[in-house]
Amino acid sequence: MTTPMNDDEPMVRLRDLSVTFGGGRKPVHAVSGVSLEVKRGEVVALIGESGSGKSVTMRTLLRLHPERRTRMGGTVQVAGRDVLAMTQRELSDFRGKVASMIFRSRCWRSTRCTRWRADRRIDPPA
């Protein structure tokens, strides 16, 4: 059961987020100690070098990592809901209705494929 969000409550709250992939001899500690709050109507950009954890952090908001190979810790709340505590059914309802993500590669392909290039446009003879 979800409780309605308080207007003062942030839309996104991450506290001490940690994400580790694998569990064998060489686990990858992708993100450690990330804390962030995003208020309603606020726009935030995550910037950093390649491999700094931007995508891992964003994918964690929707719990898109492979469940069996990923350990996630800390607090992950979106719209007042505890993402890490959600069942698969709750996640299915949550994704797309409450929160969603547009992946860069999909966005790039969509815009690139529909863009007309001036040198390739051919007008019929008058």
For residue range 71-105, list pLDDT tens digits in order: 999 999 999 999 999 999 999 999 988 887 776 66
Sheet holding 12-21, edge to edge: 28-38, 12-21, 70-78, 81-82
Q: How many separate domains does the chain show? A: 1
Radius of gyration for the alpha carbons in the chain, expressed in angstroms and rounded: 19
pLDDT value at residue 1:
46
On whether residue 3 sits in a domain, the answer given is: no
Q: What is the pLDDT of residues 28-75, one digit of tens each?
A: 999 999 999 999 999 988 899 999 999 999 999 999 999 999 999 999
Q: Look up the pTM and report it.
A: 0.74
pLDDT of residue 118 exceeding 80: no
On whether residue 112 sits in a domain, the answer given is: yes
* CATH number, domain with residue 107: 3.40.50.300
Long-range Cβ contact pairs of 95-101 (< 8 A, separation 24 or more): 95/62, 99/61, 99/62, 100/62, 101/58, 101/59, 101/61, 101/62, 101/64
